[in-house]
Protein backbone atom coordinates (compact mmCIF):
# COMPACT_ATOMS: atom_id res chain seq x y z
CA UNK A 1 0.00 0.00 0.00
CA UNK A 2 2.87 2.38 0.89
CA UNK A 3 4.62 1.56 -2.39
CA UNK A 4 1.46 2.32 -4.35
CA UNK A 5 1.06 5.64 -2.56
CA UNK A 6 4.65 6.57 -3.36
CA UNK A 7 4.09 5.67 -6.99
CA UNK A 8 1.01 7.83 -7.10
CA UNK A 9 2.93 10.70 -5.52
CA UNK A 10 5.66 10.61 -8.13
CA UNK A 11 3.21 10.22 -10.98
CA UNK A 12 1.38 13.26 -9.68
CA UNK A 13 4.66 15.18 -9.50
CA UNK A 14 5.39 14.25 -13.12
CA UNK A 15 1.95 15.50 -14.07
CA UNK A 16 2.51 18.84 -12.34
CA UNK A 17 5.78 19.33 -14.18
CA UNK A 18 3.97 18.85 -17.47
CA UNK A 19 1.13 21.34 -16.90
CA UNK A 20 0.70 24.34 -19.19
CA UNK A 21 0.57 22.56 -22.54
CA UNK A 22 -2.09 23.12 -25.18
CA UNK A 23 -1.96 19.67 -26.79
CA UNK A 24 -0.62 16.22 -25.97
CA UNK A 25 0.21 12.99 -27.80
CA UNK A 26 0.43 9.76 -25.76
CA UNK A 27 2.32 6.82 -27.29
CA UNK A 28 3.25 3.51 -25.77
CA UNK A 29 4.79 0.21 -26.91
CA UNK A 30 7.59 -2.33 -26.46
CA UNK A 31 11.14 -1.03 -27.02
CA UNK A 32 14.75 -2.27 -26.90
CA UNK A 33 17.69 -2.26 -24.50
CA UNK A 34 18.89 0.65 -22.37
CA UNK A 35 20.92 3.18 -24.39
CA UNK A 36 19.25 2.13 -27.59
CA UNK A 37 15.58 2.61 -26.79
CA UNK A 38 14.73 3.89 -30.26
CA UNK A 39 17.13 1.82 -32.36
CA UNK A 40 15.42 0.05 -35.23
CA UNK A 41 12.14 1.87 -34.67
CA UNK A 42 10.30 3.76 -37.39
CA UNK A 43 8.49 7.04 -36.77
CA UNK A 44 5.68 8.98 -38.39
CA UNK A 45 5.71 12.78 -38.37
CA UNK A 46 2.67 14.31 -36.70
CA UNK A 47 2.43 18.02 -37.62
CA UNK A 48 1.31 20.56 -35.06
CA UNK A 49 2.05 24.28 -34.76
CA UNK A 50 4.83 23.93 -37.32
CA UNK A 51 6.57 21.13 -35.41
CA UNK A 52 6.80 17.70 -37.05
CA UNK A 53 6.55 15.45 -34.01
CA UNK A 54 8.13 11.96 -34.22
CA UNK A 55 5.53 9.40 -33.17
CA UNK A 56 6.69 5.73 -32.99
CA UNK A 57 4.93 3.54 -35.52
CA UNK A 58 2.83 0.77 -34.02
CA UNK A 59 2.23 2.59 -30.76
CA UNK A 60 -1.28 3.63 -29.81
CA UNK A 61 -1.84 7.35 -29.39
CA UNK A 62 -4.40 9.79 -28.08
CA UNK A 63 -4.56 13.41 -29.27
CA UNK A 64 -6.16 16.16 -27.18
CA UNK A 65 -6.55 19.74 -28.43
CA UNK A 66 -6.72 21.10 -24.88
CA UNK A 67 -5.01 19.92 -21.75
CA UNK A 68 -7.51 19.17 -18.95
CA UNK A 69 -6.94 20.06 -15.33
CA UNK A 70 -5.12 16.76 -14.83
CA UNK A 71 -2.89 14.60 -17.03
CA UNK A 72 -3.54 10.91 -17.73
CA UNK A 73 -0.42 8.73 -18.13
CA UNK A 74 -0.71 5.72 -20.43
CA UNK A 75 1.77 2.98 -19.44
CA UNK A 76 0.82 -0.17 -21.30
CA UNK A 77 4.06 -0.66 -23.23
CA UNK A 78 6.92 -2.66 -21.75
CA UNK A 79 10.71 -2.61 -22.00
CA UNK A 80 12.68 -5.87 -22.28
CA UNK A 81 13.09 -6.02 -18.49
CA UNK A 82 9.34 -5.70 -17.99
CA UNK A 83 9.35 -2.00 -17.19
CA UNK A 84 6.60 0.16 -18.61
CA UNK A 85 7.30 3.18 -20.83
CA UNK A 86 5.32 6.12 -22.15
CA UNK A 87 6.23 9.08 -24.31
CA UNK A 88 4.23 12.28 -24.16
CA UNK A 89 4.56 15.29 -26.43
CA UNK A 90 3.39 18.76 -25.46
CA UNK A 91 3.47 22.11 -27.25
CA UNK A 92 3.17 25.21 -25.14
CA UNK A 93 1.18 28.30 -25.97
CA UNK A 94 1.52 31.83 -24.51
CA UNK A 95 -0.93 31.00 -21.71
CA UNK A 96 1.42 28.38 -20.25
CA UNK A 97 3.97 29.06 -17.46
CA UNK A 98 6.85 28.54 -19.88
CA UNK A 99 8.68 31.33 -21.75
CA UNK A 100 9.49 31.56 -25.43
CA UNK A 101 12.02 33.39 -27.55
CA UNK A 102 12.94 33.32 -31.21
CA UNK A 103 16.53 34.34 -30.46
CA UNK A 104 18.49 31.05 -29.95
CA UNK A 105 20.65 32.41 -27.12
CA UNK A 106 17.66 33.70 -25.18
CA UNK A 107 15.71 30.49 -25.89
CA UNK A 108 18.51 28.33 -24.49
CA UNK A 109 18.60 30.40 -21.30
CA UNK A 110 14.87 29.93 -20.91
CA UNK A 111 15.12 26.16 -21.37
CA UNK A 112 17.98 25.97 -18.87
CA UNK A 113 15.86 27.90 -16.39
CA UNK A 114 13.02 25.39 -16.78
CA UNK A 115 15.39 22.44 -16.42
CA UNK A 116 17.04 23.94 -13.33
CA UNK A 117 13.67 24.20 -11.63
CA UNK A 118 12.99 20.50 -12.28
CA UNK A 119 16.45 19.46 -11.08
CA UNK A 120 15.92 21.41 -7.87
CA UNK A 121 12.58 19.72 -7.25
CA UNK A 122 13.78 16.14 -7.88
CA UNK A 123 17.27 16.61 -6.45
CA UNK A 124 19.17 15.22 -9.47
CA UNK A 125 19.45 15.51 -13.22
CA UNK A 126 21.84 15.68 -16.14
CA UNK A 127 21.55 18.30 -18.88
CA UNK A 128 22.97 18.69 -22.36
CA UNK A 129 22.22 21.07 -25.22
CA UNK A 130 22.40 20.40 -28.95
CA UNK A 131 21.68 22.43 -32.07
CA UNK A 132 18.71 21.56 -34.28
CA UNK A 133 18.80 23.61 -37.49
CA UNK A 134 20.09 26.71 -35.74
CA UNK A 135 17.71 26.44 -32.79
CA UNK A 136 18.50 25.08 -29.31
CA UNK A 137 17.27 21.73 -28.03
CA UNK A 138 17.74 20.88 -24.37
CA UNK A 139 18.13 17.27 -23.21
CA UNK A 140 17.62 16.25 -19.59
CA UNK A 141 17.57 12.92 -17.76
CA UNK A 142 16.63 12.49 -14.12
CA UNK A 143 15.43 9.87 -11.67
CA UNK A 144 12.32 9.80 -9.54
CA UNK A 145 12.94 6.25 -8.19
CA UNK A 146 12.05 5.23 -4.64
CA UNK A 147 14.82 6.03 -2.18
CA UNK A 148 15.01 2.40 -0.99
CA UNK A 149 15.01 1.04 -4.54
CA UNK A 150 11.56 -0.48 -4.21
CA UNK A 151 10.63 0.92 -7.67
CA UNK A 152 12.36 2.65 -10.56
CA UNK A 153 11.17 5.83 -12.33
CA UNK A 154 13.52 7.29 -14.94
CA UNK A 155 12.58 10.35 -16.98
CA UNK A 156 13.90 12.11 -20.05
CA UNK A 157 13.00 15.46 -21.57
CA UNK A 158 13.67 16.96 -24.96
CA UNK A 159 12.80 20.69 -25.04
CA UNK A 160 12.92 22.57 -28.35
CA UNK A 161 12.26 26.34 -28.67
CA UNK A 162 11.38 27.73 -32.08
CA UNK A 163 9.06 30.32 -33.56
CA UNK A 164 8.08 31.51 -30.08
CA UNK A 165 6.78 28.01 -29.30
CA UNK A 166 8.12 25.48 -26.83
CA UNK A 167 8.00 21.78 -27.76
CA UNK A 168 8.49 19.26 -24.96
CA UNK A 169 8.85 15.51 -25.45
CA UNK A 170 8.64 13.70 -22.13
CA UNK A 171 9.73 10.06 -21.91
CA UNK A 172 9.53 8.01 -18.74
CA UNK A 173 10.04 4.35 -17.74
CA UNK A 174 8.50 2.78 -14.64
CA UNK A 175 9.59 -0.52 -13.05
CA UNK A 176 9.04 -2.43 -9.81
CA UNK A 177 12.79 -2.70 -9.03
CA UNK A 178 15.00 0.36 -9.41
CA UNK A 179 18.08 -1.79 -9.92
CA UNK A 180 16.51 -3.61 -12.87
CA UNK A 181 14.48 -0.78 -14.45
CA UNK A 182 15.84 0.44 -17.79
CA UNK A 183 17.35 3.91 -17.60
CA UNK A 184 16.95 6.63 -20.21
CA UNK A 185 20.29 7.95 -21.53
CA UNK A 186 21.41 11.09 -23.32
CA UNK A 187 22.02 8.98 -26.45
CA UNK A 188 18.35 7.93 -26.37
CA UNK A 189 17.25 11.55 -26.16
CA UNK A 190 19.64 12.64 -28.94
CA UNK A 191 18.25 9.95 -31.21
CA UNK A 192 14.74 11.18 -30.50
CA UNK A 193 15.62 14.90 -30.82
CA UNK A 194 17.21 14.44 -34.23
CA UNK A 195 13.90 13.08 -35.51
CA UNK A 196 12.07 16.33 -34.74
CA UNK A 197 11.13 18.20 -37.91
CA UNK A 198 9.77 21.66 -38.63
CA UNK A 199 7.59 23.10 -41.38
CA UNK A 200 7.56 26.92 -41.55
CA UNK A 201 4.46 26.85 -43.76
CA UNK A 202 2.49 25.26 -40.91
CA UNK A 203 3.97 27.48 -38.21
CA UNK A 204 1.61 29.76 -36.25
CA UNK A 205 1.40 33.47 -36.83
CA UNK A 206 3.78 35.25 -34.45
CA UNK A 207 4.94 38.75 -33.66
CA UNK A 208 7.88 38.43 -36.04
CA UNK A 209 5.38 38.16 -38.88
CA UNK A 210 2.64 40.45 -37.51
CA UNK A 211 3.67 43.52 -39.48
CA UNK A 212 1.14 46.15 -40.54
CA UNK A 213 0.81 49.66 -41.91
CA UNK A 214 -1.46 52.52 -40.88
CA UNK A 215 -3.05 55.40 -42.74
CA UNK A 216 -6.23 57.39 -42.84
CA UNK A 217 -9.27 55.77 -44.42
CA UNK A 218 -8.86 55.24 -48.16
CA UNK A 219 -5.16 56.07 -47.84
CA UNK A 220 -5.65 59.66 -46.64
CA UNK A 221 -2.80 61.45 -44.87
CA UNK A 222 -4.43 64.89 -44.45
CA UNK A 223 -6.99 66.18 -41.98
CA UNK A 224 -8.64 69.58 -41.61
CA UNK A 225 -9.10 71.26 -38.24
CA UNK A 226 -12.56 70.72 -36.82
CA UNK A 227 -12.96 67.43 -38.67
CA UNK A 228 -12.08 63.79 -37.99
CA UNK A 229 -10.02 61.26 -39.90
CA UNK A 230 -10.59 57.55 -39.32
CA UNK A 231 -7.27 55.74 -39.04
CA UNK A 232 -6.89 52.14 -40.22
CA UNK A 233 -4.36 49.39 -39.50
CA UNK A 234 -3.85 46.87 -42.29
CA UNK A 235 -1.88 43.72 -41.45
CA UNK A 236 0.38 42.36 -44.18
CA UNK A 237 -0.94 38.82 -43.74
CA UNK A 238 -4.69 39.25 -43.43
CA UNK A 239 -5.39 35.55 -43.94
CA UNK A 240 -3.73 34.52 -40.67
CA UNK A 241 -5.05 37.26 -38.38
CA UNK A 242 -7.70 35.91 -36.04
CA UNK A 243 -10.25 38.69 -36.13
CA UNK A 244 -12.75 36.73 -34.02
CA UNK A 245 -10.31 36.97 -31.13
CA UNK A 246 -9.69 40.64 -32.06
CA UNK A 247 -6.03 40.00 -32.88
CA UNK A 248 -6.26 42.85 -35.37
CA UNK A 249 -6.89 45.37 -32.57
CA UNK A 250 -4.30 48.12 -32.06
CA UNK A 251 -3.70 50.84 -29.48
CA UNK A 252 -3.50 54.35 -30.95
CA UNK A 253 -1.46 57.39 -29.90
CA UNK A 254 -0.78 60.78 -31.51
CA UNK A 255 2.04 63.28 -30.96
CA UNK A 256 3.51 66.38 -32.56
CA UNK A 257 5.87 64.97 -35.19
CA UNK A 258 8.40 67.79 -34.78
CA UNK A 259 8.64 67.93 -31.00
CA UNK A 260 7.76 64.33 -30.19
CA UNK A 261 5.49 65.63 -27.43
CA UNK A 262 1.76 65.53 -26.95
CA UNK A 263 -0.12 67.82 -29.34
CA UNK A 264 -2.83 69.67 -27.33
CA UNK A 265 -4.95 70.33 -30.42
CA UNK A 266 -5.09 66.69 -31.57
CA UNK A 267 -6.60 63.55 -30.04
CA UNK A 268 -7.25 59.99 -31.18
CA UNK A 269 -9.84 57.59 -29.81
CA UNK A 270 -9.29 53.94 -28.91
CA UNK A 271 -11.01 53.08 -32.19
CA UNK A 272 -8.56 55.21 -34.20
CA UNK A 273 -10.64 58.32 -34.90
CA UNK A 274 -8.22 61.26 -35.17
CA UNK A 275 -9.66 64.71 -34.40
CA UNK A 276 -8.01 68.12 -34.71
CA UNK A 277 -9.35 71.13 -32.83
CA UNK A 278 -10.89 73.79 -35.06
CA UNK A 279 -8.73 76.37 -33.24
CA UNK A 280 -5.64 75.18 -35.12
CA UNK A 281 -4.09 78.33 -36.64
CA UNK A 282 -1.13 76.90 -38.58
CA UNK A 283 -0.39 73.56 -40.27
CA UNK A 284 1.15 70.86 -38.07
CA UNK A 285 2.48 67.37 -38.73
CA UNK A 286 1.13 64.68 -36.44
CA UNK A 287 2.88 61.37 -35.80
CA UNK A 288 0.22 58.72 -35.36
CA UNK A 289 1.39 55.42 -33.84
CA UNK A 290 -0.35 52.08 -33.46
CA UNK A 291 0.77 49.11 -31.37
CA UNK A 292 -0.63 45.63 -31.93
CA UNK A 293 -2.33 44.51 -28.74
CA UNK A 294 -1.91 40.83 -29.66
CA UNK A 295 1.59 40.77 -31.13
CA UNK A 296 3.36 43.85 -29.79
CA UNK A 297 4.46 45.10 -33.22
CA UNK A 298 4.16 48.79 -34.09
CA UNK A 299 3.57 51.07 -37.06
CA UNK A 300 3.75 54.84 -37.53
CA UNK A 301 2.76 57.43 -40.10
CA UNK A 302 2.63 61.23 -40.41
CA UNK A 303 -0.73 62.95 -40.83
CA UNK A 304 -0.73 66.56 -42.05
CA UNK A 305 -3.22 68.72 -40.13
CA UNK A 306 -4.37 72.02 -41.63
CA UNK A 307 -6.39 74.99 -40.35
CA UNK A 308 -9.81 75.70 -41.79
CA UNK A 309 -9.52 77.69 -45.04
CA UNK A 310 -11.80 80.72 -44.91
CA UNK A 311 -11.21 81.94 -48.46
CA UNK A 312 -9.17 81.95 -51.65
CA UNK A 313 -8.32 84.83 -54.00
CA UNK A 314 -6.34 85.22 -57.22
CA UNK A 315 -4.12 88.06 -58.39
CA UNK A 316 -4.75 89.68 -60.76
CA UNK A 317 -8.51 89.11 -60.64
CA UNK A 318 -8.90 89.78 -64.38
CA UNK A 319 -6.57 88.76 -67.18
CA UNK A 320 -6.25 90.14 -70.71
CA UNK A 321 -4.27 88.73 -73.62
CA UNK A 322 -3.93 90.32 -77.03
CA UNK A 323 -4.19 88.75 -80.42
CA UNK A 324 -0.89 88.60 -82.22
CA UNK A 325 1.11 87.57 -79.16
CA UNK A 326 1.31 84.35 -77.12
CA UNK A 327 3.32 85.74 -74.22
CA UNK A 328 2.15 83.99 -71.01
CA UNK A 329 1.32 85.60 -67.68
CA UNK A 330 1.79 84.17 -64.17
CA UNK A 331 -1.18 84.07 -61.83
CA UNK A 332 -0.99 83.38 -58.09
CA UNK A 333 -3.63 82.20 -55.66
CA UNK A 334 -3.72 83.30 -52.02
CA UNK A 335 -5.37 81.43 -49.15
CA UNK A 336 -6.79 82.69 -45.89
CA UNK A 337 -5.25 82.16 -43.40
CA UNK A 338 -1.96 82.77 -45.16
CA UNK A 339 -0.26 80.06 -43.06
CA UNK A 340 -1.94 77.45 -45.24
CA UNK A 341 0.18 75.68 -47.85
CA UNK A 342 -0.98 76.18 -51.40
CA UNK A 343 -0.66 72.54 -52.42
CA UNK A 344 -3.59 70.89 -54.15
CA UNK A 345 -5.10 74.02 -55.73
CA UNK A 346 -6.79 73.28 -59.07
CA UNK A 347 -7.29 75.63 -62.04
CA UNK A 348 -10.18 74.76 -64.38
CA UNK A 349 -11.17 76.86 -67.45
CA UNK A 350 -14.88 76.94 -68.25
CA UNK A 351 -14.15 76.89 -72.00
CA UNK A 352 -11.33 74.90 -73.55
CA UNK A 353 -9.12 76.22 -76.38
CA UNK A 354 -8.94 79.86 -75.24
CA UNK A 355 -5.89 79.59 -72.96
CA UNK A 356 -3.34 77.00 -71.87
CA UNK A 357 -2.67 76.59 -68.12
CA UNK A 358 0.72 75.27 -66.92
CA UNK A 359 1.58 74.76 -63.22
CA UNK A 360 4.64 76.76 -62.06
CA UNK A 361 4.72 75.96 -58.33
CA UNK A 362 2.19 75.47 -55.54
CA UNK A 363 -0.41 78.22 -55.90
CA UNK A 364 1.00 79.58 -59.18
CA UNK A 365 0.25 78.86 -62.83
CA UNK A 366 1.36 80.23 -66.18
CA UNK A 367 -1.50 81.16 -68.52
CA UNK A 368 -0.81 81.41 -72.27
CA UNK A 369 -3.34 82.61 -74.90
CA UNK A 370 -4.36 80.23 -77.69
CA UNK A 371 -7.24 81.92 -79.53
CA UNK A 372 -9.52 84.97 -79.36
CA UNK A 373 -12.39 84.60 -76.94
CA UNK A 374 -13.40 84.76 -73.31
CA UNK A 375 -13.45 82.19 -70.51
CA UNK A 376 -13.53 81.93 -66.73
CA UNK A 377 -10.94 79.98 -64.79
CA UNK A 378 -12.27 78.48 -61.56
CA UNK A 379 -9.68 78.26 -58.79
CA UNK A 380 -10.44 75.63 -56.12
CA UNK A 381 -8.44 74.86 -52.97
CA UNK A 382 -8.51 71.33 -51.41
CA UNK A 383 -11.34 72.00 -48.91
CA UNK A 384 -13.65 73.38 -51.60
CA UNK A 385 -13.31 77.17 -51.35
CA UNK A 386 -13.45 78.77 -54.82
CA UNK A 387 -12.50 81.95 -56.69
CA UNK A 388 -12.96 83.03 -60.31
CA UNK A 389 -10.56 84.59 -62.78
CA UNK A 390 -12.02 86.20 -65.92
CA UNK A 391 -9.81 85.84 -68.97
CA UNK A 392 -10.12 87.56 -72.36
CA UNK A 393 -8.05 87.12 -75.49
CA UNK A 394 -8.88 90.22 -77.56
CA UNK A 395 -7.58 92.82 -80.03
CA UNK A 396 -5.25 95.41 -78.45
CA UNK A 397 -5.89 99.14 -78.19
CA UNK A 398 -3.98 100.94 -80.96
CA UNK A 399 -4.87 104.62 -80.49
CA UNK A 400 -6.32 106.92 -77.84
CA UNK A 401 -8.13 110.21 -78.66
CA UNK A 402 -8.87 112.67 -75.82
CA UNK A 403 -11.79 115.15 -75.72
CA UNK A 404 -12.08 118.06 -73.24
CA UNK A 405 -15.42 119.38 -72.00
CA UNK A 406 -15.57 122.59 -70.02
CA UNK A 407 -13.25 125.52 -69.30
CA UNK A 408 -10.42 125.28 -66.78
CA UNK A 409 -11.12 127.94 -64.09
CA UNK A 410 -10.02 128.16 -60.43
CA UNK A 411 -12.44 126.08 -58.34
CA UNK A 412 -14.00 124.56 -61.48
CA UNK A 413 -14.16 121.07 -63.02
CA UNK A 414 -13.18 119.90 -66.50
CA UNK A 415 -14.09 116.48 -67.96
CA UNK A 416 -11.63 114.64 -70.18
CA UNK A 417 -12.88 111.54 -72.09
CA UNK A 418 -10.91 108.95 -74.01
CA UNK A 419 -11.97 107.24 -77.23
CA UNK A 420 -10.10 103.95 -77.77
CA UNK A 421 -9.63 102.32 -81.16
CA UNK A 422 -10.27 99.85 -82.62
CA UNK A 423 -13.77 99.29 -81.28
CA UNK A 424 -13.24 95.52 -80.94
CA UNK A 425 -10.46 96.09 -78.40
CA UNK A 426 -11.71 94.24 -75.33
CA UNK A 427 -9.70 95.93 -72.58
CA UNK A 428 -10.98 99.47 -72.07
CA UNK A 429 -9.15 100.08 -68.78
CA UNK A 430 -7.25 103.38 -68.57
CA UNK A 431 -5.22 105.24 -65.97
CA UNK A 432 -5.39 109.05 -65.55
CA UNK A 433 -2.67 111.29 -64.17
CA UNK A 434 -1.71 114.99 -63.85
CA UNK A 435 1.69 116.65 -63.93
CA UNK A 436 0.82 118.98 -61.04
CA UNK A 437 0.35 118.47 -57.30
CA UNK A 438 -2.93 118.13 -55.45
CA UNK A 439 -2.68 121.72 -54.26
CA UNK A 440 -3.30 122.74 -57.87
CA UNK A 441 -5.63 120.03 -59.25
CA UNK A 442 -6.82 116.43 -58.87
CA UNK A 443 -8.29 113.86 -61.30
CA UNK A 444 -10.52 110.86 -60.62
CA UNK A 445 -10.87 107.46 -62.41
CA UNK A 446 -13.45 108.96 -64.80
CA UNK A 447 -11.15 111.71 -66.08
CA UNK A 448 -12.77 114.57 -64.17
CA UNK A 449 -10.24 117.26 -63.29
CA UNK A 450 -11.00 119.47 -60.25
CA UNK A 451 -8.99 122.68 -60.09
CA UNK A 452 -8.15 124.24 -56.76
CA UNK A 453 -9.67 127.72 -56.06
CA UNK A 454 -6.29 129.36 -55.43
CA UNK A 455 -4.80 128.16 -58.72
CA UNK A 456 -3.43 131.15 -60.67
CA UNK A 457 -4.66 132.00 -64.13
CA UNK A 458 -2.31 130.87 -66.87
CA UNK A 459 -1.31 127.72 -65.02
CA UNK A 460 -0.82 124.83 -67.47
CA UNK A 461 -2.06 121.39 -66.38
CA UNK A 462 -1.13 118.32 -68.46
CA UNK A 463 -3.66 115.45 -68.38
CA UNK A 464 -2.26 112.06 -69.37
CA UNK A 465 -4.33 109.00 -70.25
CA UNK A 466 -2.66 105.60 -70.35
CA UNK A 467 -4.68 102.90 -72.12
CA UNK A 468 -3.82 99.49 -70.58
CA UNK A 469 -5.42 97.31 -73.24
CA UNK A 470 -2.27 96.61 -75.25
CA UNK A 471 0.98 94.70 -74.79
CA UNK A 472 2.58 98.10 -74.17
CA UNK A 473 0.33 100.90 -72.81
CA UNK A 474 -0.89 103.46 -75.38
CA UNK A 475 -0.50 107.01 -74.03
CA UNK A 476 -2.24 110.27 -74.99
CA UNK A 477 -2.07 113.74 -73.31
CA UNK A 478 -3.83 117.03 -73.41
CA UNK A 479 -2.95 120.42 -71.84
CA UNK A 480 -5.38 122.63 -69.90
CA UNK A 481 -4.73 126.32 -69.29
CA UNK A 482 -6.42 127.85 -66.28
CA UNK A 483 -8.40 130.97 -67.28
Q: What is the CATH number of the domain that holds 406?
A: 2.60.40.1080
> What CATH number has the domain bearing residue 370?
2.60.40.10
At 132, give phi and psi (nearest 5°): -120, 100
Find the Cα–Cα–Cα–Cα dihedral 6, 9, 15, 18, rounded to 10°: -90
| Domain identity same for 300 and 374 | no
Domain that holds residue 175: 2-202
Q: Indicate whether 173 and 218 sit together in one domain.
A: no
Same domain assignment for residues 276 and 364: no
Domain end among 148, 173, 202: 202
**Where is average pLDDT lowest: 262-276, 330-344, 409-423?**
330-344
Q: Backbone phi, then psi, for 398, in 5-degree steps?
A: -110, -35
Q: Quick one: pLDDT at residue 345? A: 92
For the chain, what is the domain count? 4
The reply to whether 286 and 216 lie within a common domain is yes
343 with 376, same domain: the answer is yes
Last residue of a domain, which of 260, 290, 306?
Answer: 306
Distance CA 116, CA 111 (A): 9
Considering the domain architecture, whether residues 431 and 387 belong to the same structural domain is answered as: no
pLDDT at 207: 58
- Residue 375 CA to residue 397 CA, distance in Å, equals 20
Mean pLDDT lowest among 17-31, 91-105, 109-123, 185-199: 17-31
Residues 162 and 63 in one domain: yes
Q: Which of 14-28, 146-160, 305-319 has the highest mean pLDDT?
A: 305-319
Sign of CA dihedral 341, 346, 347, 350: negative
Determine the pLDDT at residue 341.
81
Q: Which residue in 33, 22, 81, 30 sits closest to 56, CA to CA?
A: 30
Mean pLDDT in residue range 328-334? 93
pLDDT tens for each residue of 204-239: 655 556 789 999 999 999 998 999 999 999 988 776
pLDDT at 312: 92
| Same-domain pairing of 74 and 160 | yes
Distance CA 85, CA 82 (A): 10
Name the phi and psi angles at 188, rounded to 5. -60, -45
The dihedral built from the CA positions of residue 353, 356, 362 and 364, taken in this order, carries a sign that is: negative
- Predicted confidence at residue 258, as pLDDT, reads 94
Radius of gyration of the chain (CA): 46
Confidence of residue 165 (pLDDT cuts 50, 70, 90): confident
Do 185 and 223 fall into the same domain? no
Taking alpha carbons only, the member of 88, 91, 100 closest to residue 65 is 91
Q: Does 80 score more than 50 pLDDT?
A: yes
Q: Can you tell me the distance from the alpha carbon of 56 to that of 152, in angstroms, rounded to the nearest whole number?
A: 23
| pLDDT value at 81 more than 70 | no
Same domain, 40 and 165: yes
pLDDT digits (tens, 9 = 90+) for 86-116: 777 776 654 455 556 667 888 888 889 889 9
Among 343, 365, 394, identify where a domain stops.
394
Pairing of β 266-268 and β 273-276: antiparallel
Q: Residue 482: is the preceding peptide bond cis (ω within 30°)?
A: no
* Domain harbouring 20, CATH code: 2.60.120.1690
Q: Are residues 194 and 230 in the same domain?
A: no
| 350 Cβ neighbours under 8 A, 6+ residues apart | 375, 376, 377, 378
Percentage of the chain exceeding pLDDT 90: 49
**Do both 316 and 404 map to the same domain?**
no
Amino acid sequence: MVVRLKKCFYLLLCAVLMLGCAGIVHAEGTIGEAGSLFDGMSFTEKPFDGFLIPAPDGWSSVMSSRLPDYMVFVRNGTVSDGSKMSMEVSWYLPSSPYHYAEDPEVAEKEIRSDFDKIAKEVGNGEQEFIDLNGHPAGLMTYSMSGRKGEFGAYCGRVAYARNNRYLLIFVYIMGNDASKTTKITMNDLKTLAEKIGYDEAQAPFTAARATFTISGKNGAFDVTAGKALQMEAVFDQQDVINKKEKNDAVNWTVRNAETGKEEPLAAISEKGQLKVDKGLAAPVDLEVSAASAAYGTEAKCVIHAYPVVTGVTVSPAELFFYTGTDKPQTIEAALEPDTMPKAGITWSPAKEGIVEITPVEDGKVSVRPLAAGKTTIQVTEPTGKKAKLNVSVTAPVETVELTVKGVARPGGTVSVSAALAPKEAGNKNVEWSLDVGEEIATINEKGQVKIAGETASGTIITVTCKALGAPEPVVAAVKLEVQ
